[in-house]
Amino acid sequence: METERIALSQRERDRLKVLHDVGEGHLTQVEAAQRLKVSDRQVRRLLIRMGDSGDRALVHGLRGRASNRKLALAFEQKIMGRVRQRYADFGPTLAAEHLAKEDLLVSRETLRKWMVKAVLWRPRRQRVKKVHVWRERRASFGELVMQDSSPFRWFEERGPACQLIALIDDATSRVWARFVEHDTTEENLRTLGGWLQRYGRPMAHYTDKNSIFRNAGPAALGEQLQGEAARSQFGRALKELGIEWIAAHSPQAKGRIERLFETLQDRLVKEMRLAGIDTMEAGNYFLERHFLPEWEQRFTVAPRHPRNAHRRLGREQRLEEILSVRVARKVAEDHTVSWEGNRWGVPRAEVCAGLRGAQVEIERRLDGTHWLRFRGRYLRLRHCSEPAPHAASPSGLRPTGLAANPLSRKNKSAPPNHPWRTFQYGRKPDISTLR
């Protein structure tokens, strides 16, 4: 007769050895109970069960049997058919959420097992990561706001490639974001303006060391005389708003917003695919009206302190002036200034005393208008299609310099008998040839 084979785990084999020692009289029931960490009454039950069934008594009675709570095979096939049809590249958590909206209720862990079995989901390997010191969240909403951008195929192949500029609060994980075509200073200022209009001025702003946020070159002469470091346009705006700028020294230092982009590149992309969004305008509308409100309900956390650390915008802090790009220029004699290959002129009605030759600032605002900042005043600028000729100067003054001389050095050449053409070292020039 063939010997029966029983599959036992290591724990069950250890328990069987202790019970055999009790049966052989090497251990008492009390000592066995202490080793097995059960009561002596349970030891007697196991000994009685072993007398009836042998070593099989230690195997659980439900081993090898299907669970009474197992879902029906037909339901599993229905779920997996829907997943293959619409959610094949979704993660188990996100797929379970969308299946629930279709009244197909299944837990994410059950769906994860089914998707792994169907080779629709690959379990993630536990990678050994470099350990970084964990930083506690800030205590209040508005103490620290992080900002960054992420280039990605947000609309997949349906729409253009673009960037997502996002801000996230460190204490609550509240998010504000916008799709933009390029990651420029103006677009970052515009996204910051959206946060300021909704919540106010945070205490500190946390970014990386991109040139948009930090000027790597030397400071201007005026800043050097005042003992200030070089600032970018974004840094200058933060200073005028009274917001502290903090630079991250590594990607891990701004891990909260890095993890935000990792989540958005999965969830947001698939949500927009289901909604059929293929333009940046529709994407921004979807973000503001649908995705971000749902994010706030599900993923924001309550801060440790309920007070809001944001500060209100003062009357003197006009965002259209602060969130702009400014450059220093000198006004020409014809009341024009040059910037980026274009010439801008002040209308005659707004010309004031002392403007000609003055050091001013050109301010390009986010709405596309250009203004001249002179002694605390703002003068309109209009684009000059062609550079104004020097002879037709609106000031009425006669031009001076080489451009005013028809025989300027550029157009005049020396005659053949000029001394510098005939001069020879060691000999005096023949002056009679010049008469």
- Tens of pLDDT, residue by residue over 93-146, are 999 999 999 999 999 999 999 999 998 988 877 665 665 566 789 999 999 999
29 within domain boundaries? yes
88 within domain boundaries? yes
Q: What is the mean pLDDT of residues 367-396?
A: 73
Tell whether 16 and 83 lie within a shared domain: no
Tell whether 106 and 151 lie within a shared domain: no
HSE, CB side, 13 Å, CA atoms: give it for residue 262.
Answer: 6
394 within domain boundaries? no
In this predicted structure, the answer to whether residue 397 has a pLDDT above a threshold of 60 is no
Write down which residue in 353, 384, 415 finishes a domain: 384
Q: Tens digits of per-residue pLDDT, 301-327?
A: 999 999 999 999 988 889 999 999 999
Burial class (CB in 10 A: 0-12, 13-18, 19+), 300: middle
Tell whether 160 and 295 lie within a shared domain: yes
The SS3 assignment for 58 reads helix
24 contacts: CB under 8 Å, gap ≥ 6: none
With tokens 């801060």, the residue in question is 303
424 within domain boundaries? no
Tell whether 165 and 284 lie within a shared domain: yes
Tokens standing for 41? 């009454």
Region of 140 (left: φ > 0; alpha: ψ -120 to 50; beta: rest) is beta
Question: By percentage, how much of the chain surpasses pLDDT 70?
Answer: 83
At position 377, the amino acid (one-letter code) is R
* Helix, strand, coil percentages, rounded to 5, for the chain: 40, 15, 45
- The predicted structure's pLDDT at residue 403: 44
Tell whether 295 and 353 lie within a shared domain: no
395 within domain boundaries? no
Q: Tens digits of per-residue pLDDT, 239-253?
A: 999 999 999 888 788
Tell whether 84 and 190 lie within a shared domain: no
311 within domain boundaries? no
Tell whether 235 and 350 lie within a shared domain: no
Q: Which segment, 2-16, 92-106, 389-403, is predicted with the most confidence on average? A: 92-106
435 contacts: CB under 8 Å, gap ≥ 6: none
**Burial state string for 341-353 with b = 16 or more CB within 10 A and e = fewer than 16:** eebbbbeeeeeee
DSSP string of 351-402, one letter each residue = --TT-TT-EEEEEEETTS-EEEEETTEEEE-EEESSPPPSTT-TT-PPP-SG
Write down which residue in 265, 299, 333 finishes a domain: 299
pTM above 0.95, yes or no: no
Q: CATH no. for residue 169?
A: 3.30.420.10
Tell whether 105 and 163 lie within a shared domain: no
- The predicted structure's pLDDT at residue 56: 78
294 within domain boundaries? yes
The four Cα atoms 240, 244, 245, 246 give a dihedral, to 10 degrees, of 180
Of 86-95, 132-141, 282-291, the one with minimum mean pLDDT is 132-141
The SS3 assignment for 152 reads strand
Tell whether 237 and 196 lie within a shared domain: yes
Give the number of domains in the chain: 4
Positive/negative CA dihedral, 185, 190, 196, 198: negative
Strand ranges across the sheet with 204-207:
175-180, 162-169, 145-152, 204-207, 244-247
- The predicted structure's pLDDT at residue 393: 43
Residue (of 302, 384, 301) closest to 347 by Cα position: 384
Tell whether 281 and 349 lie within a shared domain: no
Mean model confidence pLDDT for the chain = 84
Residue 267 lies in domain: 145-216+226-299
The residue with greater pLDDT, 165 or 400, is: 165
pLDDT band for 426, please (50, 70, 90 cuts): low
Query: Which contacts qualify for 216-224: CB closer than 8 Å, 24 or more apart?
Result: 220/328, 222/328
- The predicted structure's pLDDT at residue 145: 96
Tell whether 154 and 290 lie within a shared domain: yes
413 within domain boundaries? no
Strand ranges across the sheet with 377-380:
324-330, 359-365, 370-374, 377-380
CB atoms near residue 126 (< 10 Å): 6
Tell whether 167 and 243 lie within a shared domain: yes
The SS3 assignment for 16 reads helix
Rg of the Cα trace of the chain?
39
Cα gap 392→404, rounded to integer Å? 12
In this predicted structure, the answer to whether residue 156 has a pLDDT above a threshold of 90 is yes
Cα gap 107→61, rounded to integer Å? 27
